[in-house]
Amino acid sequence: MAIAAEAVAEATFVEHSRGFRSRWYRTPSFVTGVSILGLIVLAAILAPVIAMHNPTDQDLLHTLAGPSWSHLLGTDDLGRDVWARLVYGARTDLQIAFLAVLFPFAIGTTIGLLSGYYGRWVDTIANWFVNVVVAFPFYVLIIALVFALGSGTRNIYIAITIVGWVSYTRIVRGEVLVAKRRDYVLAARSAGLSDPRILGRHLLPNVITQAIVFACSDIVLDILAIVTLGYLGLGVQRPRPDWGTMIADGQTYLTTHWMLSTIPGIAVVITALGLSLLADGLADLLRPE
Contact residues toward other proteins (CB under 8 A) are 2-4, 6-7, 9-10, 13-14, 17, 119, 182-184, 186-194, 197, 201-202, 205-206, 288-289
Kindly state the helix (H) or strand (E) to which residue 283 belongs, with its residue range: helix 259-286
Residues 6+ away with beta carbon under 8 Å from 227: 93, 235, 242, 243, 244, 247, 268
For residue 103, the minimal CB distance to other proteins (Å) is: 25
Task: Give the SS3 label for residue 81.
Answer: strand
For residue 170, the minimal CB distance to other proteins (Å) is: 22
For residue 178, the minimal CB distance to other proteins (Å) is: 12
For residue 185, the minimal CB distance to other proteins (Å) is: 9
Query: In this complex, which beta carbon is closest to other proteins, that of residue 39 or of residue 187?
Result: 187
Query: In this complex, which beta carbon is closest to other proteins, that of residue 173 or of residue 257?
Result: 173
For residue 200, the minimal CB distance to other proteins (Å) is: 11
Query: In this complex, which beta carbon is closest to other proteins, that of residue 10 or of residue 57?
Result: 10
Could you check whether the bond before residue 239 is cis, i.e. omega within 30 degrees of 0?
yes
Sign for the pseudo-dihedral over CA of 33, 101, 212, 46: positive
Q: Angle at which helices 138-149 and 204-231 pack, to 10 degrees?
A: 70
Task: Give the SS3 label for residue 49.
Answer: helix
Query: In this complex, which beta carbon is closest to other proteins, that of residue 57 or of residue 195?
Result: 195
Query: In this complex, which beta carbon is closest to other proteins, that of residue 12 or of residue 255?
Result: 12
For residue 76, the minimal CB distance to other proteins (Å) is: 50
Helix residue ranges per DSSP H, 57-152: 82-118, 120-134, 138-149
Query: In this complex, which beta carbon is closest to other proteins, that of residue 150 or of residue 205?
Result: 205
Distance of alpha carbon 253 from alpha carbon 121, whole angstroms: 56
The DSSP string of 213-253 is: HHHHHHHHHHHHHHHHHHHTTSSSPTTS--HHHHHHHHGGG
Give residue 63's identity as a one-letter amino acid code: T
For residue 189, the minimal CB distance to other proteins (Å) is: 6
Query: In this complex, which beta carbon is closest to other proteins, that of residue 156 or of residue 171?
Result: 171
Distance of alpha carbon 264 from alpha carbon 247, whole angstroms: 6
